[in-house]
Amino acid sequence: MKQTLISGIIILFVMAFIGFTGAGSYSVINKSGVNVSSIKITPAGDNTGNSVSFSRSIAKDQSINIDFTANEEVCEYDVRFIDEHGKEYLMSGVNLCGSSEIVLVTSKADEVPQIYAPHSK
Protein backbone atom coordinates (compact mmCIF):
# COMPACT_ATOMS: atom_id res chain seq x y z
CA MET A 1 0.00 0.00 0.00
CA LYS A 2 2.76 2.41 0.98
CA GLN A 3 4.74 1.58 -2.18
CA THR A 4 1.67 2.20 -4.37
CA LEU A 5 1.10 5.58 -2.71
CA ILE A 6 4.74 6.61 -3.22
CA SER A 7 4.63 5.44 -6.86
CA GLY A 8 1.47 7.46 -7.44
CA ILE A 9 3.01 10.60 -5.94
CA ILE A 10 6.12 10.21 -8.10
CA ILE A 11 4.03 9.76 -11.25
CA LEU A 12 1.97 12.88 -10.43
CA PHE A 13 5.15 14.88 -9.79
CA VAL A 14 6.70 13.79 -13.10
CA MET A 15 3.49 14.57 -15.02
CA ALA A 16 3.27 18.03 -13.42
CA PHE A 17 6.94 18.72 -14.18
CA ILE A 18 6.53 17.73 -17.83
CA GLY A 19 3.41 19.89 -18.12
CA PHE A 20 5.19 22.99 -16.83
CA THR A 21 8.33 22.69 -18.94
CA GLY A 22 6.39 23.10 -22.16
CA ALA A 23 8.06 20.06 -23.68
CA GLY A 24 6.27 17.82 -26.05
CA SER A 25 3.94 17.65 -28.95
CA TYR A 26 1.56 20.39 -30.05
CA SER A 27 -1.40 20.04 -32.36
CA VAL A 28 -1.46 22.83 -34.93
CA ILE A 29 -5.04 23.30 -36.10
CA ASN A 30 -5.63 25.34 -39.25
CA LYS A 31 -8.82 27.39 -38.81
CA SER A 32 -7.43 30.30 -40.86
CA GLY A 33 -9.48 29.69 -44.00
CA VAL A 34 -6.32 29.42 -46.11
CA ASN A 35 -3.99 26.53 -46.92
CA VAL A 36 -0.82 27.01 -44.86
CA SER A 37 2.60 26.16 -46.29
CA SER A 38 4.85 26.91 -43.28
CA ILE A 39 4.87 28.00 -39.63
CA LYS A 40 7.49 29.85 -37.57
CA ILE A 41 7.34 30.05 -33.76
CA THR A 42 9.41 32.68 -31.92
CA PRO A 43 9.36 33.95 -28.33
CA ALA A 44 7.19 37.11 -28.37
CA GLY A 45 9.19 40.19 -29.29
CA ASP A 46 12.39 38.18 -29.83
CA ASN A 47 14.32 39.51 -32.80
CA THR A 48 17.49 37.54 -32.10
CA GLY A 49 16.58 34.63 -34.34
CA ASN A 50 15.60 32.18 -31.57
CA SER A 51 12.88 30.57 -33.65
CA VAL A 52 11.66 27.21 -34.82
CA SER A 53 10.33 26.76 -38.36
CA PHE A 54 8.16 23.99 -39.74
CA SER A 55 7.83 23.62 -43.52
CA ARG A 56 4.77 21.41 -43.48
CA SER A 57 1.55 22.04 -45.35
CA ILE A 58 -1.71 22.21 -43.46
CA ALA A 59 -4.91 22.28 -45.49
CA LYS A 60 -7.94 24.27 -44.33
CA ASP A 61 -9.62 22.73 -41.28
CA GLN A 62 -6.86 20.13 -40.91
CA SER A 63 -4.28 19.63 -38.17
CA ILE A 64 -0.74 18.34 -37.77
CA ASN A 65 1.36 17.40 -34.75
CA ILE A 66 4.71 19.08 -34.19
CA ASP A 67 7.41 18.46 -31.62
CA PHE A 68 8.30 21.75 -29.98
CA THR A 69 9.85 22.53 -26.62
CA ALA A 70 8.68 25.82 -25.17
CA ASN A 71 11.09 27.77 -22.97
CA GLU A 72 10.15 27.38 -19.28
CA GLU A 73 10.64 31.11 -18.71
CA VAL A 74 8.59 32.28 -21.70
CA CYS A 75 4.89 31.60 -22.20
CA GLU A 76 4.05 34.03 -25.00
CA TYR A 77 5.15 33.31 -28.55
CA ASP A 78 4.68 34.93 -31.93
CA VAL A 79 3.34 32.48 -34.50
CA ARG A 80 3.88 33.36 -38.16
CA PHE A 81 2.32 31.34 -40.92
CA ILE A 82 2.45 31.64 -44.68
CA ASP A 83 -0.36 30.66 -47.01
CA GLU A 84 0.01 28.84 -50.32
CA HIS A 85 0.20 32.19 -52.19
CA GLY A 86 3.07 33.52 -50.06
CA LYS A 87 0.96 35.83 -47.89
CA GLU A 88 2.34 35.97 -44.35
CA TYR A 89 0.27 36.27 -41.16
CA LEU A 90 1.40 37.01 -37.60
CA MET A 91 -0.38 35.96 -34.41
CA SER A 92 1.33 37.91 -31.60
CA GLY A 93 1.55 36.86 -27.95
CA VAL A 94 0.13 33.33 -28.22
CA ASN A 95 0.29 31.69 -24.77
CA LEU A 96 1.73 28.17 -25.11
CA CYS A 97 2.06 27.40 -21.39
CA GLY A 98 -0.42 24.80 -20.24
CA SER A 99 -1.70 24.20 -23.76
CA SER A 100 -1.07 21.50 -26.32
CA GLU A 101 -2.82 23.24 -29.22
CA ILE A 102 -1.93 26.10 -31.54
CA VAL A 103 -4.99 27.24 -33.50
CA LEU A 104 -4.19 29.25 -36.63
CA VAL A 105 -6.85 31.89 -37.29
CA THR A 106 -6.66 34.95 -39.50
CA SER A 107 -9.07 36.88 -37.26
CA LYS A 108 -6.37 36.91 -34.54
CA ALA A 109 -3.52 37.41 -37.00
CA ASP A 110 -2.18 40.51 -38.64
CA GLU A 111 -1.33 40.24 -42.29
CA VAL A 112 2.34 41.07 -42.69
CA PRO A 113 2.66 43.69 -45.43
CA GLN A 114 4.71 42.70 -48.44
CA ILE A 115 7.40 45.14 -49.50
CA TYR A 116 7.60 45.72 -53.23
CA ALA A 117 11.09 46.58 -54.38
CA PRO A 118 11.29 47.09 -58.15
CA HIS A 119 14.48 45.93 -59.76
CA SER A 120 16.61 48.74 -61.12
CA LYS A 121 18.27 48.33 -64.49
Residue 25 in 3-state DSSP?
A: strand
- Residue 117, in any domain of the structure: no
- Residue 89, in any domain of the structure: yes
Q: With a cut of 50, list the residues of the chain below it in pLDDT.
A: 5, 13-22, 120-121
Specify the number of domains making up the chain: 1
Q: Please give the pLDDT value at position 114.
A: 55
What DSSP assignment string belongs to 39-63? EEEEETT--SS--EEE---B-TT-E
Question: CATH no. for residue 108?
Answer: 2.60.40.2890
Q: Please give the pLDDT value at position 63.
A: 95
- Residue 118, in any domain of the structure: no
Q: Domain of residue 20: give its range.
A: 2-112
For 59-87, what is each residue's pLDDT tens digit? Answer: 999 999 998 877 778 889 999 999 999 99
Distance between CA 93 and CA 60 in Å, rounded?
A: 23
